[in-house]
Copies of this chain bind each other. A is one copy, B any other.
Amino acid sequence: MQAEIISIGDELLLGQTINTNATWISEQLALIGINTVQVTTIADEEKHIIDSLDNALKRAELVLITGGLGPTKDDITKKCLAEYFKTELEMNEIVLAKIVDYFESRGREVLQVNRDQALLPVGAKMIPNELGTASGMWFEQDDKIVVSMPGVPYEMKGMMRESILPQLKNENSKLYYGMVYTQGIGESKLAELIRPWEERIENAGLKLAYLPSPGLVKLRITSTEGDTIMVDELCRELKQNFPKLVYSLNTFSLAKVLGEILKYSSSTVATVESCTAGSLSAMITSVPGASEYYMGSLITYSNEEKMKLANVSKETLMEFGAVSEQTAQEMADGGRKRLEVDYCISTTGIAGPDGGTKEKPVGTVWIAISSSKGTVARKFQFGSDRSRNVEMTCLTALNFLRNHIFGYN
């Protein structure tokens, strides 16, 4: 079954409200095997609503509409639907009684605009709204389904959970997908690396999608035939073959994955940060309960603080500079000693936009890890964008530590 979502509301087109409703609905539909093929976001405007619905029904068997059911003048969805399905509005006495009760129990006057919310199209099934006053509507015509819901997220979600999803679930649920989360490789390089594996995916009739986000690439393998075994096997295989790159099959947050490893091994971590200036520590502590393995950090932005707080020697800074293997190593060692942790990560680099030289251009970053296994440092070359360089450094550092702990080299 193919679905489309139509989101109605001026506020969605002015950059003031992010359309999270459509994202949530498509996620819920995917989980019961219904594929969303288009989301259309439009204003409360009659002709546009009717045209969008008409077009959607040409492509999809199911159209879910949110928004435009409020009591104010600019909410016209119900009227448009009645017109489209060539029917009339009729007072639903049960709904009216509930609306009257809703207002009276809150000590508020029932206005005519509120009563009018009980006017519903003849021939449509009413979908109860336990959390508000606008009822949903379920139309069926020529084997196609059109559902109209309020735009208020929690009212819409309540309706979906209570009435709509259970009804749709009966159809079929053959869609299944698996995820592979990677760090440390770009989208195109990854595609090159896993080409033989990708061919097997295609041959098995599955679909592969690359979903890059800054510093990470997610892979999604989808089966439309409910081939759970094949999907799971292919995901696991990738993790086995590329353990340095694949950090998880179910968790997007690299900080959370690392946190689990630290908790499991009863280890502690700290950071000594220069170019990331606290972002690495913030990423580690974005996980609730991080205090089990994280106690504190030193941010040593200036050379002086590198010496004073992390005990980096003046000679090292003079001879090799702040952005160097030696400085990174001394920062990590000094931090591990001072903060008494099992693992200490240091970062030092040129975040940009200024400060680059020919030998050390903007984006040059050294990351070091100090542990009982020794001290290792690696150089990375990121790009020219300051905040992106910081984010890339943080994600790279977390995966570097994960690999260091597991002994992957």
Q: Footprint of B on A, CB under 8 Å?
A: 10-20, 22-30, 35-43, 45, 48, 52, 55, 59, 70-74, 105-109, 111, 113-114, 130-131, 152, 154, 177, 186-189, 191-192, 208-212, 214, 218, 220, 271, 273, 276-282, 284-286, 288-291, 294-302, 304-305, 309, 339, 352-354, 361, 381-388, 390
Q: How far is it, in angstroms, between the C-alpha of A193 and the C-alpha of B188 when the chains are bound?
A: 53
Q: How far is it, in angstroms, between the C-alpha of A18 and the C-alpha of B153 when the chains are bound?
A: 14
Majority-rule SS of A interface residues: mixed
> Do residues B387 and A286 form an inter-chain contact, with CB atoms below 8 A?
yes
A217 to chain B, nearest CB (A): 10
Given A279-B278, A285-B278, A288-B354: A15 in contact with B26 (beta carbons within 8 A) = yes
> Do residues B43 and A40 form an inter-chain contact, with CB atoms below 8 A?
no
Given A14-B36, A71-B187, A187-B71: A278 in contact with B305 (beta carbons within 8 A) = no
In the complex, the chain B residue whose C-beta lies closest to that of A202 is B73
Q: How far is it, in angstroms, between the C-alpha of A399 and the C-alpha of B37 when the chains are bound?
A: 43
> Do residues A302 and B296 form an inter-chain contact, with CB atoms below 8 A?
yes
- A309: chain B residues at CB < 8 Å are 296, 298
> Do residues B278 and A297 form an inter-chain contact, with CB atoms below 8 A?
yes
> Do residues B30 and A14 form an inter-chain contact, with CB atoms below 8 A?
yes
Q: A38's contact among B48, B285, B298, B386, by CB below 8 Å, is which? A: B48
> Do residues A70 and B278 form an inter-chain contact, with CB atoms below 8 A?
no
- A297: chain B residues at CB < 8 Å are 277-278, 298-299, 301
- A109: chain B residues at CB < 8 Å are 189
A314 to chain B, nearest CB (A): 16
> Do residues B286 and A294 form an inter-chain contact, with CB atoms below 8 A?
no
A198 to chain B, nearest CB (A): 8
- A12: chain B residues at CB < 8 Å are 23, 39
A99 to chain B, nearest CB (A): 11
Pick from A29, A42, A52, A352 the residue with the most CB of B within 10 Å. Answer: A42
> Do residues A296 and B296 form an inter-chain contact, with CB atoms below 8 A?
no
Q: How far is it, in angstroms, between the C-alpha of A15 and the C-alpha of B10 when the chains are bound?
A: 22
Q: A10's contact among B17, B209, B281, by CB below 8 Å, is which? A: B209
> Do residues A114 and B288 form an inter-chain contact, with CB atoms below 8 A?
no
- A276: chain B residues at CB < 8 Å are 282
A211 to chain B, nearest CB (A): 5
Q: A189's contact among B111, B220, B284, B305, by CB below 8 Å, is which? A: B111
A387 to chain B, nearest CB (A): 6
A354 to chain B, nearest CB (A): 6
> Do residues A282 and B282 form an inter-chain contact, with CB atoms below 8 A?
yes
